[in-house]
Chains A and B, each alone.
Chain A
């Protein structure tokens, strides 16, 4: 672990700071890339070109956007609740950033190897809700308030199926430590949880469709938790203008934006760690074959980022294909479909494990 390695010669506190900053090195370029990527993907899906001016095929467009956002005047409405208004974007970003602590990027780097890693992530992303509610309330804008209320309802209710699916996995592997979970899915693509994990025999054949369903459920619920279409009701631009961040501009708006994209990757990373083998390669490692051991963690990081970005791309793909649900239908999808189904899967899987 990187933390132990650094703290051995620098002491605990500097090591914590350094280890804590590492994800930032990843998130900011990722967010810049993801914004660009989203614009390009959407443009090509819509027979457009997307950004083409700044850099090769507009590659530097998002950097230009950030520069613009930095220069913008920071507008705070006079009727806004200023302290809350200022804290909200920071809190939102903190929530999504803190989630990265427990995500194993490769076998060599995990911010904090927590035994209840998954639960920690679920809990810490609750901070995002507080941030959104604060933003919605402090803006003193009816649209923001409606958006914030919707997002609170949505995120809270969608955490239930997420947790039940995680419970299902827990009943199979007996650990909530993401690092251990990833290690369990090593060596072979068919050891991934989506293919039933390390279970063998007839049970595996039964498990595969169940795990596929569980994967779909957790993918949908995490989609709802990061407020992406078809669950982007809190910021539904055609109804609520842009929901809780209607009143924000400049860097505060950029913080929300950054948090959204960081969140997108965070949930994709969780889904990857839980179901798609974490940082493990679907095939062998080049480093092992040619005998360079330090290459393996880098390869693992590549695979992790690749899977994460692939899932993020699917999120974008869905966003540019689907209309959005209505707020009551969103609840219907959660309470009438996802929760019973995830319970059913949980029941069957637990029975299978007992047998």
Chain B
């Protein structure tokens, strides 16, 4: 952090307002930032959201439960599988149905593959924000392999409509397990390579370590979740602390930020935590692929979803944090109200807090390390 020099109290300089976005290479979508600058030092940052608002929540009230699934995909388009898992878990709990064992395993495999894919984008674009172009393309190369696996399974690469309340739309294709194993063996060296190319690079460390430090208390006060919270040092992962699906059966670690190159909760920690989480996802995947049972995947899908009157809040650990669904049912075919607690939206709130006193270049570094998806921020 650069210390602001107070040369003279009676010398007043005019502050410049710099408008960053909504069309800007590194606002990760259509986010608009209003930055108040003193020279290149940041006095204040005000994020303006809503450029991608699609009335998702209101729209849900006019659609039947299965019809909402394709819309859920479009919230966090980098982790659409996980949005679907969250929605499916919520509706299942509302209906009180159990899903077959195989479906649970498929969901976990898909979810963890999606977590790797999403973190790859986060890590790659973070490199891009810092100015390193090449790691981005290495990340995308591997993400494409995951998307090919998804395409084999459900026919779509980005917006899947695969995980339905009560089951999944298709069973795994015959080659899936073999190809996933191949992918995992190929992917492990890539993490090492990415670390050598980007994470341990001195310039990269200089750019990110000790920048945008998020103290644990601030993080909790702002409701930050996911890798951002864990990088600040709290071991809080819903996969372990509020288990849904069958995550309690797997052996994996929850990494926390340790301030490897600077202070706990700086940008480097947030970035590197995603690297470790990818390794842990690989671990879960390896176990899940070994254990997956045979069975029917569509048997538990209800013919028509018509829950009784009631309401439910469920939360899952999306690659970006706590993704919560609050659904109110008045007994009809359509939900009475759907509210989504989007992790990106909540995490974005800390941007102003983190940026104060930094340089313009750091805004990009901090914004990238928070890893937001505007589709989810605006919904």
Contacts and interface: CB of A to CB of B under 8 A. Distances in A.
A238 B18 contact: no
Given A142-B16, A230-B203, A237-B25, A326 B361 contact: yes
B131 A238 contact: yes
A47 B138 contact: yes
A47 B361 CA distance: 29
A17 interface: no
B137 interface: yes
B206 A45 contact: no
Nearest to A240: B360
A48 B130 CA distance: 21
B206 A329 contact: yes
Nearest to B129: A238
B133 A42 contact: yes
A46 interface: yes
A325 B130 CA distance: 8
B132 A323 contact: yes
Interface string B22-45: 001110000000000000100000
Contacts of A42: 133-134
Contacts of A237: 25
Nearest to A142: B18
Given A324-B130, A326-B359, A238 B364 contact: yes
A137 to B, nearest CB: 14
A293 interface: no
Contacts of A142: 16, 18-19
Interface residues of A, number: 28
Interface residues of B, number: 32
A3 to B, nearest CB: 43
A78 B317 CA distance: 50
Nearest to A149: B40
Contacts of B62: none
A326 B362 contact: yes
A323 B127 contact: yes
A326 B25 CA distance: 17
A143 B127 CA distance: 21
Q: Which of A238, A241, A322 has most B Cβ within 10 Å?
A: A238
A73 interface: no
B361 A239 contact: yes
Given A47-B138, A236-B131, A237-B25, A323 B204 contact: yes
A327 interface: yes
Interface in A197-233: 229-230, 232-233
Given A47-B141, A146-B40, A241 B24 contact: yes
Given A239-B26, A322-B131, A329 B207 contact: yes
B131 A232 contact: yes
B132 A46 contact: no
A239 B360 contact: yes
Nearest to B365: A326
Contact of A323 (B19, B24, B198): B198
A42 B135 CA distance: 12
A320 interface: yes
B193 to A, nearest CB: 12
A328 B362 CA distance: 11
Interface string B219-252: 0000000000000000000000000000000000
A188 interface: no
B207 A325 contact: yes
Contact of B132 (A143, A239, A240, A321): A321
B134 to A, nearest CB: 5
Nearest to B127: A323
Contacts of A324: 130-132, 203, 207
Given A230-B131, A323-B198, A328-B2, A239 B40 contact: no
A241 B134 contact: no
Given A146-B40, A230-B203, A329-B206, 9 more contacts: A47-B137, A48-B137, A146-B360, A238-B129, A239-B360, A241-B25, A320-B134, A324-B130, A325-B206
Interface of B: 2, 16, 18-19, 24-26, 40, 127-134, 137-138, 141, 197-198, 201, 203-204, 206-207, 359-364
11 contacts: A46-B138, A146-B40, A146-B360, A320-B134, A321-B132, A322-B131, A323-B130, A323-B131, A323-B207, A324-B130, A324-B203
- Can you list the 5 inter-chain pairs with the closest CB atoms, starting with the nearest? A324-B131, A323-B132, A46-B137, A238-B26, A323-B130
